[in-house]
Amino acid sequence: MSDKRAVRTDAAPTPTGPFNQAIRLGNLIFTSGQAGRNRDTGKMGDIREQTDWALRNISNILQAAGASLDDVVKTTVYLKDGADSNVMSEEYAGHFRDPLPARSSVVVTRLKNADMLIEIEAIAVVAA
């Protein structure tokens, strides 16, 4: 796996643990889960704002890897409250064009900190 490399950018939050923002392996890019945190202010906001920021962070990481949200084929969304699903989906849909990526949504009882309402990870495919 000599073509496996870390993806890093200052345009998204710095990882707070022993992991990278993303890994690129050939034409595949795997992002780590992104919280809905404004990188500049640290603020999180409501579910709409957090969904927006999580996807902005993913977009910036993908850009650093030579890709965009248009290249995303699969996302996994972790929600703290299933009641936020409709608002999250409305905001989420505004970030993608057809064909929309495949998506799994999971309701979890706890995310990393009490203010986190959502975490999103993505897989993208780009020209090698």
Domain ranges within the chain, ordered by starting residue: 4-125
Q: What integer pLDDT is reported at residue 18 of this predicted model?
A: 93
Rg of the chain over Cα atoms, rounded to whole angstroms, equals 14
Helices (H), 1-128: 47-64, 85-93
User: What percent of the chain shows pLDDT beyond 90?
Assistant: 80
Given this model, what pLDDT does residue 111 score? 82
Give the pLDDT score at 96. 97
Q: Give me the residue label for tokens 């309701």.
A: 107
CATH 3.30.1330.40 holds for 4-125: yes
Q: What is the model's pTM?
A: 0.94
Whole-number pLDDT of residue 2: 66
- As a 3-state breakdown, the chain gives helix, strand, coil percent values, each rounded to 5, of 25, 30, 45
pLDDT for position 112: 79
> Which residues of the chain are under the pLDDT cut of 50?
none
